[in-house]
Structure 1
Amino acid sequence: MADGLAACLVPGAGACPRRWAGARRGQPWRAAAPAGAWLRHQIARYRHLHDDQRRLLGELGLTEDEVDRSNGWPRRRRPAAEGLEAARAHAARHGHLALSAPAVFDGFPLGAWLASQRTRQRRTGHLTRLGRTLTGLDAWWDPPWPLAWQRMWWTCRHHHCGLPEHLRWWPGAAGADHAGAWLHQQQARRLLLQPGQRDLLDELTALAGGAPGWRPRISDSAWQTLHLRLPPLAHHGGRRRDERQVLEAILHIACTQQPWAGLPQVLGPAETSRRYHRCHTDGTLTRISHARRPETDARWQQQLTDHLASFNESG
């Protein structure tokens, strides 16, 4: 590093301290050759540098903020080795490469880099050397169906098989209830899926021991106190709805994040959403989320609390 740093400080070497071409136009600092190539290399490996090395680069104006700006610049070309290093690290940590374009991993715009590689693969019409390497990391890194579908497939697989000890959940990974509801939904629309998706879905179904069905969340002991917190159920003639069924329906939506149109038939019609909004507005759901309950009901109560917090933030 010493030779490269010296080149940046020597007059006429092609770069000078705190001089980034185009910085005043909101673009990242770019030094001229030959020192520029060395500085770009330092940006690429900035996260792996020693603190003293970062301090010396800071004297040139290459601060951590400038590195983040440079990495986030959409027009910046990324060396294949830099992107491949990030892809290997992500696959080792999370087990897949099904990232959407905006995804950033350890400061590197891995989602955008993978998107450009997918575009290149489709333009060439054959698997490139880099494509073969990425396929070795994740066989479904470039699926012919939406990446969101592929991410949920990985989520379901890990929930049913258990997350391997060497892997970690990725940011935004769905919970077990959400994954189970998604699998049930995909099973219902199987004929609309592509052949490859059907094969992957059949693999999940076999791991899950068949198509997942709805299971009650509220224990009998918890219901003894919860039903006292519910407002009177309106009755307009016809068959009266069961209050426990209504609350189970509300909890199903809160825990799975599924739309009301996908409510299991056993939980009644989607019109239960009106009761949900009533219970949310009058504070019933908040009281239920804070009520004392048996340990067996802790999971759905925490999920209800998280759902209400997310609803309030978005609302």
Structure 2
Amino acid sequence: MVNPPWPLDWQRAWYRAREHVRVNGPVHGGDNLAGVPRRLERWLRHQITHYRELHEGQRQLLADLGLGHQEVERFHAWPGRRRPAADGLAAARVYVTRHGHLAVSWPTTAADGFALGRWLAVQRVRRHTSGHLTRLGRTLTGLDAWWNPPWSVQWQRMWWAARYRLAGLPEGCQWWPGAPETERSMTWLRRQRARRILLHPGQQQLLDALPQHTGAQTPALTASGRREVSDQAWALICPLMPLQQSAGGRWRDHRLLIDGIAHTARTDTPWRDLPAHYRPWQTCYRRYTRWLADGTLHQITALTLPTTDHEWQIAVARRLHRGS
């Protein structure tokens, strides 16, 4: 084709692709362009992305390479396919608008199925490997200055949770799936402030930027004798509790220990961080391991409890599943 109605650069790239096809056979969208040289792969992906905008003659030439309409559809249906950076940025903008940050976990996906968490993880690796801030990195930094922190993304996500629990969500934002509750966030914050000297200077600055919290803001942390388990739930749980052993000293109140176990599971905090009214934490932990071994805790999580007890019951069941 001497004078095509599209750019000559496109036609030259097509000739290079045709040479590859003559040697290796047609390309396929159903295998996510596996085995295609990197330069040719980028060109083909660009054609697939803008397929609807191509001239009918260009589509026919791509079909001569094996990349017809059906193969383009198969490419889009590929579950783990790589997608253009523009797709990632679009998903990142939507997430920031909705949740206020980009400290997302690996499994996070966008509404259209785009693997946003995995894509951001790849961008972080590329940023560390290149050693300089790319144009894509600068754009992401404009969306969230801490999208790529020098500490764990989990720490950064907890910091956002603590910030929003103290100052409130920005207008128009909403909590992300799995966001920690107030008590867990404040317990985490107290622990970070206690070990502040061990943290990265940037982490210290972020902690200092948070407003101070008081007991009025987090009554669940300061109210002594707080019951995790309701009276109605305890009436169902009590018959499952083992009887007082005849030998040894007096056992500590079963209900208080169940409260402590429920608190630890619900807030997902270490045993050592149990509030004072549940202590000593060693007793609570030993009873947890004993009731885990004899099946008592599994029976408790299988009970039909009041709605107000569902949160801690589900948290305990999740902890049992992890075996921790």
State how far apart, in whole Å, the 1-side matches of 2:257 and 2:39 are.
69
Q: Deviations over 1:159-217 (max 9, x none)?
A: 44454564444454434443333223223323322333234334445256678447432
Report the counterpart of residue 308 of structure 1 in structure 2: 317
SS in 2 for 1:182: helix
Question: Which amino acid is the alignment partner of residue 232 of structure 1?
Answer: L
Question: Which amino acid is the alignment partner of residue 206 of structure 2?
Answer: L
Please state how far the C-alpha of 1:220 moved relative to its aligned partner: 4.8
Report the counterpart of residue 118 of structure 1 in structure 2: 127
Report the counterpart of residue 146 of structure 2 in structure 1: 140
Q: Comparing 233-242 with 271-280, which one deviates more in the overlay?
A: 233-242
2:207 to 197, 201, 223: 201
State how far apart, in whole Å, the 1-side matches of 2:257 and 2:286 are.
11
Please state how far the C-alpha of 1:153 moved relative to its aligned partner: 1.1
Report the counterpart of residue 284 of structure 1 in structure 2: 296
Where in structure 2 are the equivalents of 1:171-250 lying within 5 Å? 171-204=177-210, 206-207=212-213, 212-213=221-222, 215-220=226-231, 222-223=233-234, 226-234=237-245, 237-238=248-249, 240-250=251-261
For the pair 1:270 / 2:282, whether they are aligned, the reply is yes
Contact 1:253 1:259 in 2 (8 A): yes
Contact 1:159 1:176 in 2 (8 A): yes
For the pair 1:85 / 2:85, whether they are aligned, the reply is no
SS in 2 for 1:275: helix
Contact 2:260 2:284 in 1 (8 A): yes
Please state how far the C-alpha of 1:67 moved relative to its aligned partner: 3.7
Contact 1:28 1:66 in 2 (8 A): no
Report the counterpart of residue 19 of structure 1 in structure 2: 27
Distance 1:42 1:217, change over 3 A: farther
- Scaled by the length of structure 1, the TM-score of the pair is 0.68
Question: Which amino acid is the alignment partner of residue 88 of structure 1?
Answer: R
Contact 2:99 2:176 in 1 (8 A): yes
Based on CA coordinates, which of the two structures has the bigger radius of gyration? 2
State how far apart, in whole Å, the 1-side matches of 2:135 and 2:254 are.
60
State how far apart, in whole Å, the 2-side matches of 1:208 and 1:166 are.
26
Distance 1:181 1:58, change over 3 A: farther
Where in structure 2 are the equivalents of 1:98-113 lying within 5 Å? 98-99=103-104, 105=110, 106-107=114-115, 109-113=118-122
Report the counterpart of residue 95 of structure 1 in structure 2: 100
Please state how far the C-alpha of 1:110 moved relative to its aligned partner: 1.8
State how far apart, in whole Å, the 1-side matches of 2:127 and 2:109 are.
17
Distance 1:100 1:226, change over 3 A: closer
Report the counterpart of residue 74 of structure 1 in structure 2: none
State how far apart, in whole Å, the 2-side matches of 1:101 and 1:115 are.
12
Please state how far the C-alpha of 1:115 moved relative to its aligned partner: 0.8
2:164 to 158, 170, 173: 158
Report the counterpart of residue 49 of structure 1 in structure 2: none
Question: Which amino acid is the alignment partner of residue 19 of structure 1?
Answer: V
- Scaled by the length of structure 2, the TM-score of the pair is 0.66
Q: Comparing 286-295 with 237-246, which one deviates more in the overlay?
A: 286-295
Q: Deviations over 1:105-136 (max 9, x none)?
A: 51454223331453167x23xx6654443222
Question: Which amino acid is the alignment partner of residue 241 of structure 1?
Answer: R
Question: Which amino acid is the alignment partner of residue 121 of structure 2?
Answer: A
Q: Deviations over 1:36-72 (max 9, x none)?
A: 65641255579xxxxxx9xx9651365157643431x
State how far apart, in whole Å, the 1-side matches of 2:107 and 2:306 are.
41
Contact 1:95 1:167 in 2 (8 A): yes
Please state how far the C-alpha of 1:12 moved relative to its aligned partner: 6.3
Structure 2 unpaired stretches of 5+: 1-5, 52-58, 60-66
Between the two proteins, the alignment pairs up a number of residues equal to 286
1:257 to 268, 274, 278: 268
Distance 1:199 1:113, change over 3 A: same
SS in 1 for 2:212: helix
Distance 1:160 1:184, change over 3 A: same
Contact 1:87 1:110 in 2 (8 A): no
Distance 1:200 1:12, change over 3 A: closer
Question: Which amino acid is the alignment partner of residue 41 of structure 1?
Answer: H
For the pair 1:60 / 2:71, whether they are aligned, the reply is yes
Contact 1:245 1:267 in 2 (8 A): yes
State how far apart, in whole Å, the 1-side matches of 2:105 and 2:139 are.
19
Distance 1:13 1:136, change over 3 A: closer
Paired-residue identity, %: 38
